[in-house]
Amino acid sequence: MKIIRKNQAKLFRNSKECDAFEYDLGCTGLGGVVVEVRGRHPEKGRVVNLECEELAYILEGEGKILINEAEQEFMKGDMILIERGDKYFWDGNFSVLLASAPAWNAGQCKMVD
C-alpha cells in the first residue's frame, strides 16, 4: 500500500487554462493525476497518447471532449475512456481524475492538427 498526500503532488502548469497535480505512484504500470481545466485544452489542435490509455472521472464541473471526430458533453460523476491513439481536446470548467496505464509520460504524448 502507498498513500500519496495532496501536498506531495507535483504541480504542472500546462497552460493558463490547465493545471495538473501529478501523484507519483512509484510504478511504471499506472499513473494518476488530477487536472483542473478552465477553458480549452490544449488551446488549439489536439493531443494523442501514443502509449497509454486514460480513464477520466469528472470530479467537479462540466464541459465537452472531442475525441477523434465525436464530441461528447460530460458532467460531474461521468467517466470517459480515452484509448491509445485517440486524438482529443477538452473544453469546459472542471476537475478530472486521470488514471493512465501504463503511466503517462510527456515523451509519449504529442500535439496533432
Q: Which structural domain range is residue 77 located in?
A: 9-104
Beta-strand (E) ranges in the chain?
10-15, 18-23, 31-41, 46-49, 53-67, 70-75, 79-82, 87-101, 109-112
- Euclidean distance between the first and the last CA atom of the chain, given in angstroms as a whole number: 41
**CATH code, 33:** 2.60.120.10
Structural domain contains residue 57: yes
Q: Per residue in 16-63, pLDDT tens?
A: 999 999 999 999 999 999 999 999 999 999 999 999 999 999 999 999
Q: Per residue in 9-19, pLDDT tens?
A: 999 998 899 99
Tally of structural domains, the chain: 1
Structural domain contains residue 111: no
pTM, two decimal places: 0.93
Structural domain contains residue 42: yes
Structural domain contains residue 67: yes
pLDDT of residue 100: 96
